[in-house]
């Protein structure tokens, strides 16, 4: 039987040590300033790029518009463009940092039926793929190992975004890279 292959159908799981904030995490996280701790690696005017806590593969990111809506059709043009541009930059950064063979990029819309864990705030998963790769989750199940791997991944992607044209490397090393201009 054919199986639909959709690596972005993976839970986004909140980190331990969250402030017990019951709000939507995709609204709450970018309002905080601890980008490195929160794993926000880059910010544009209307979107941000967040590392997945439990990646399908190393470098599994989510590109998330700031606007709180679960309906992709509600995003206005400026937000759509900003979100799409940050997706392009995310693919650039992943190429520079990890050189994958390909990517899966996708949205889960509509809650349980679509397999997403947060259905009221649109987010695009971007998953780097390697020829013949295995499911990272099956290989590494220790949370501690994942956290260490995430910190290394964060560092590499932070550098890759900061090396791009039109970005600003923050003075504060715990801050995300700012997108300030065009890609080229
Ligand atoms: Zn939200």
CA 101 to centroid of ligand 1, rounded, Å: 32
Give the pTM: 0.85
What is the Cα gyration radius of the chain? 16
Q: For residue 2, what pLDDT is reported?
A: 43
Contacts of 91 (CB under 8 A, 6+ apart): 103, 105, 126
- Residue 5 within a domain: no
Provide the pLDDT for residue 116. 67
Look up 123 and say whether it is catalytic: yes
User: Quick check: 101 pLDDT over 60?
Assistant: yes
Across residues 38-46, what is the average pLDDT? 96
Ligand 1 centroid to residue 113 C-alpha, Å: 20
Q: Is the pLDDT of residue 27 over 60?
A: yes
Higher model confidence: residue 106 or residue 91?
91
Residue ranges near ligand 1 (ion) with Cβ within 5 Å: 24, 26-27, 68, 121
CATH of the domain at 39: 3.30.428.10
Residue 128: inside a domain: yes
45, part of any domain: yes
Q: What is the pLDDT of residue 133?
A: 73
- The pLDDT mean for the chain works out to 84
Indicate the helix (H) or strand (E) that contains 27.
Answer: helix 25-31
CA of 36 to the centre of ligand 1 (A): 20
Q: What is the mean pLDDT of residues 86-94?
A: 98
Q: Is the pLDDT of residue 74 over 60?
A: yes
Residue 35 maps to a domain: yes
Catalytic residue among 60, 123, 125, 158: 123
Domain that holds residue 170: 25-179
Say which residues have a Cβ less than 8 Å from residue 19's Cβ, sequence separation at least 6. none
- Domain for residue 55, yes or no? yes
User: E strands of the chain, at which residues?
Assistant: 40-43, 47-51, 61-65, 102-107, 124-129, 167-168, 177-179
Residue 3: pLDDT band with limits 50, 70, 90: very low
Q: How many helices (H) and strands (E) does the chain have?
A: 5, 7
Q: Are 58 and 95 in contact (CB under 8 A)?
A: no
Q: Total structural domains in the chain?
A: 1
Does residue 164 lie in a domain region? yes
At what angle are helices 143-162 and 77-98 packed, to 10 degrees?
Answer: 110
CB-CB contact of 54 with 125 (8 Å):
no
Predicted confidence at residue 163, as pLDDT, reads: 96
Domain contains 16 = no
Which runs of E-coded beta strand occur in 9-58? 40-43, 47-51
Q: Tell me the CA–centroid distance for residue 139 and ligand 1, in Å.
A: 31
Burial class (CB in 10 A: 0-12, 13-18, 19+), 142: exposed
Q: Is residue 7 part of a domain?
A: no
User: Which tokens belong to 152?
Assistant: 């290394």
Query: Of the candidates 64, 43, 81, 88, which has an alpha carbon nearest to the alpha carbon of residue 183?
Result: 88
């Amino acid at each position: 039987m054919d199986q639909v292959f959709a690596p972005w159908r993976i839970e986004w799981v909140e980190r331990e040590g969250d402030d017990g904030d019951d709000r939507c995490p995709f609204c709450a996280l970018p309002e905080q300033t601890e980008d490195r701790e929160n794993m926000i690696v880059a910010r544009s005017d209307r979107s941000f790029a967040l590392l997945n806590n439990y990646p399908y593969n190393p470098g599994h990111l989510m590109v998330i518009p700031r606007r709180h809506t679960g309906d992709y059709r509600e995003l206005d043009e400026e937000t759509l463009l900003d979100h799409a541009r940050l997706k392009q930059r995310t693919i650039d950064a992943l190429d520079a940092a990890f050189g994958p063979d390909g990517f899966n990029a996708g949205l889960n819309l509509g809650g349980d039926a679509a397999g997403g864990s947060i259905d009221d705030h649109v987010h695009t998963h971007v998953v780097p793929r390697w020829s013949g790769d295995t499911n990272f989750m099956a290989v590494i199940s220790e949370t501690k190992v994942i956290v260490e791997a995430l910190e290394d991944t964060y560092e590499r992607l932070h550098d890759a975004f900061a090396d791009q044209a039109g970005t600003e490397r923050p003075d504060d090393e715990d801050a995300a890279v700012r997108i300030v201009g065009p890609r080229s």
